[in-house]
Amino acid sequence: TSLPSMIRHALHDHEFHMVYQPVVDLASGQWVGMEALMRWTRPGGNSIAPDIFIAAAERSGQIRAVTQWMLRQVARETGPLLRAYPGQLHLAVNLASDDLSDAGFVEHWQALLDEYQLPATQLIGEITERVFMDAGQTGAQIHALRNLGVGIAIDDFGTGYSSLSYLAQMEMDYLKIDKIFVTPIGTGAVTANVVPHIVSLAQSLNLKMVAEGVETPEQADWLRQHGVQLAQGWLFARPMPIQAFERQWRAQQ
């Protein structure tokens, strides 16, 4: 059977689940947030990588249904913890470009916030540079989300197509420095030389930075010394089920 039909069944039969990767404050080492990441385990026990099924869902026009499932699942799983730590714990979700071109998206988001009593100001929507390609509707949707209090992060920064003019015009709060720029730090590879330029760009646009894919203490130290506030990566923690996140979060308080 085809991937689109497998995705349709997976939504119906609850084959997807969510894991959460901690976001760490580089100065204190404290967890200050989490990114929700989707996983798919097939009935036989095999997994399909999110890169594969998210891209397939985007191609087949199913991504909005996938995102709606994801948002509801995330709201259900994280609502109690978010409400217990107002202003201390943030939750980021990944959004696709079709989500933001859907005129009903912000209303759907608002309905979920109401139903699950989620504090909008603790939520962050991650968008990629691809979103800029169909600018018109997207800008309005981002504006409406921010009016609800939701923060916006530009994800995978430096790997897409964003022109500096789009970046300056879009209302955003965070810039996520892609792993491809973090991995070479300390190796002498020239790609690492790009990071200080991304940092000064983010600073001039008043964006907070999150470094992704941090795997070594050397990378973490270097990023902190260069003004990056937040990070995610295997050095700190891998994505985990909400129960494990909650246990470790409470132990840290």
Binding site for Mn ion (CB under 5 A): 94, 126, 155
Q: What is the DSSP pairing of strand 123-127 with strand 174-177?
A: unpaired
- Residue 35 contacts Na ion per CB under 5 A: no
Judge contact between 153 and 175, C-beta under 8 A. yes
Determine the interface stretch with ligand G among 111-119, 131-139, 193-201, 230-238 (rule: CB under 6 A): 230-238
* Angle separating helix axes 50-59 and 3-12, nearest 10 degrees: 100
Residues 6+ apart with CB under 8 A from 7: 53, 56, 57, 60, 62, 66
Q: Would you state the torsion angle of the CA atoms of residues 17, 73, 35, 175, taken in this order, to the nearest 10 degrees?
A: 130
| Residue 38 near which of ligand G, Na ion, Mn ion, none (CB within 5-8 Å, type-dependent) | ligand G
For ligand G, the closer CB: 62 or 232: 232
Determine the interface stretch with ligand G among 22-30, 50-58, 114-122, 135-143 (rule: CB under 6 A): 50-58
For Mn ion, the closer CB: 69 or 83: 69
Determine the interface stretch with Na ion among 98-106, 111-119, 192-200, 209-217 (rule: CB under 5 A): 209-217
The 4-33 contact track toward ligand G, x by CB under 6 A, reads -----------------x------------
Total residues binding ligand G (CB under 6 A): 19
**Which position among 232, 242, 245, 249 is part of the footprint of ligand G (CB under 6 A)?**
232
How far apart are the C-alpha atoms of 160 and 145, rounded to whole Å?
23
For Mn ion, the closer CB: 34 or 56: 34
- Residue 217 contacts ligand G per CB under 6 A: no
Cα 244 to its chain centre, rounded Å, is: 19
**Which position among 51, 188, 225, 251 is part of the footprint of ligand G (CB under 6 A)?**
51
Q: Among 10, 7, 137, which Cα is nearest to 59's?
A: 7
Taking the complex as a whole, the smallest distance from the CB of residue 69 to Mn ion amounts, in Å, to: 17
- Residue 155 contacts Na ion per CB under 5 A: yes
Which stretches of 41-194 are DSSP H helices? Answer: 50-59, 63-84, 97-101, 105-116, 135-148, 164-169, 179-182
The one-letter code for the residue type at 90 is H
The 65-84 contact track toward ligand G, x by CB under 6 A, reads -----x--------------
Q: What is the DSSP letter of 203?
A: H
- Residue 55 contacts ligand G per CB under 6 A: no
Give 172's Cβ-side CA count (13 Å radius): 28
Taking the complex as a whole, the smallest distance from the CB of residue 159 to Na ion amounts, in Å, to: 8
The residues of the shown chain that bind Na ion, judged by CB under 5 A, are 155-156, 212
